[in-house]
Amino acid sequence: MKMASIQKHLNVISLVSLFLCFTLPLKLALQVGFYAKSCPNAENIIRQVVQQRFKIDRSVPAALLRMHFHDCFVRGCDASILIDSTTKNQAEKDAGANGSVREYTLIDQIKTALERACPQKVSCADIIALATRDAVALAGGPKYNVPTGRRDGLISRASEVNLPGSSFTVSQAQQSFSARGLGLNEMVILLGGGHTIGVAHCNFFQNRLTNFQGTGAPDRTMDQALVSKLKGLCGSNPNANPSTFLDQNTSFVFDNEYYNQIRKNKGILKIDQNLALDPLSAKMVSNLAANNNNFGQSFVKAIIKMGSIQQGNAGEIRDNCRTINY
C-alpha cells in the first residue's frame, strides 16, 4: 500500500512535469506587483539601494538603462548579461565592443539586500527592470509601474550578442528592433530615452571626426564646433579612449533634449544623427523634440514593451546574479 501511494505520487509528479514542460516555454505573464505577497518590500529595497548609489554617482541611471537594453536584446530580459564568464564559457558581458556596460556591483548589492529580506524570491532580471525604473525617475524622467515576474536565464554566450552598431542606418537599426517585436516609433523613443543621459567613448564616433568614409574630411552632418571639440577630446589621450555626453546640453537629465540636439547636428554617434536626418524618422524626431510630456509618456510604454521581450525560457530565480544555480 505504501508502494502504491509512492507510485501514485510519482505519477502525479510526472504528470505535473509533463504539464510544465509544455507550458513553461510559453510567455510568462508579467504583472505589476508580482512580489506583493512573496516579498512585499522588494521594490522599496531596490529603490533605496539605487538612491544611495545615485547620491555618490549621477551617472548610475545611464549605466542601468543601458544594462537593461543589452539584457533584453540578447535572449530576452532574463539577466543573461549578469552572468560571469568561466573557463568553459565566454559570457555576454565579455563580448568585445559591448563590454562597457557597468554597475554590476550595484546589482550585486541589491541582490544581497533582497536575499536577506526574502531569500530566493526576486529574480535578477526583475532587479534590472525595477532598478532601471528607479534610476530613470532619479534622473528626472517619468515614474511608472513595472510589470514583474521575469525569471533568470540559464545561458549567456558572448557569441550570441548581436546588438545594433553605432554607425547603423535607421533602416538597419529598425530591422534589429523589429526582430525583437519593437517598431520604428518605439526605436526612436527608446534611443532618445537612452541617449538623453550617458556617454559614448571615442572609439564609437572617432571615424566621424577626420577621414569620414574616405572623404578626407569630417562627417559633414556633424556641427563644426562639435567636430573641433571632439577632435580635441579624442586626440588628447588616444590610449585612454575618453568619453563625451550623448546629449551635449542637459547631459544628466532625462528629458527630450536629445531630439533638439540631433536636430542641431549635435548627434554623437552616427545612428543618433541619422535619426534626425533620415526621412523614415525625421518627423518623429521633430514631434518628440517639441513635446517633453508626450516623450515621457511614450517612453514609458516603449520601455515596458522592451522589458517584456522574452525568449520562452522560463529559467530560475538565481541565488547569485553572476552564476546560474547548481
The site for ligand HEM (CB under 6 A) is made up of 59, 62-63, 65-66, 69, 100, 102, 164-166, 168, 173, 190-191, 193-195, 197-201, 204, 243, 269, 271
Q: Which of 90, 250, 297, 311 binds ligand NAG (CB under 6 A)?
A: 250
The answer to whether residue 249 forms part of the interface with ligand NAG (CB under 6 A) is yes
x-or-dash string of contact with ligand NAG, 165-184, rule CB under 6 A: xx------------------
163 binds ligand NAG (CB under 6 A): yes
Q: Which does 249 bind (CB under 5 to 8 A by kind): ligand NAG, ligand HEM, none?
A: ligand NAG
- Give the nearest distance from C-beta 62 to ligand NAG in angstroms: 13
Asked if 273 is part of the footprint of ligand NAG (rule: CB under 6 A), the reply reads no
How many Cα neighbours within 13 Å face the side chain of 76? 21
Identify the burial level of 2 via C-beta atoms within 10 angstroms of its C-beta, where 0-12 means exposed, 13-18 middle and 19 or more buried.
Answer: exposed
Using the structure block, give the residue that is written with the C-alpha cell 557597468: 102
Our finding on whether 159 is near ligand NAG (CB under 6 A) is no
Which region, left, alpha or beta, applies to residue 59 given φ > 0 means left and ψ of -120 to 50 means alpha?
Answer: alpha
Does residue 257 interact with ligand NAG by CB under 6 A? yes
- The residue type of 290 is A
Task: Write out the DSSP string of 153-218.
Answer: -S---GGG--PPPTT--HHHHHHHHHTTT--HHHHHHHHHHHHTS-EEEGGGTGGGTSSGGGSSS-
* Region from 4-12, 27-35, 159-167, 212-220 binding ligand NAG, contact rule CB under 6 A: 159-167
* CA separation, residue 19 to residues 5, 13, 145 (Å): 21, 10, 32
Query: 74: which 3 cell numbers?
Result: 540578447
Annotated active-site residue in 9, 68, 70, 195: 70
- Report the distance separating Cα 313 and Cα 87, nearest Å: 24
Which helix H or strand E contains 148, and what residues bound it?
A: strand 147-148
Give least dist CB 3 to ligand HEM, A: 58
98: contact with ligand NAG by CB under 6 A: yes
Q: Is 9 a catalytic residue?
A: no
- Interacting residues with ligand NAG (CB under 6 A): 96-98, 163, 165-166, 249-250, 257
Give the catalytic positions in this structure: 70
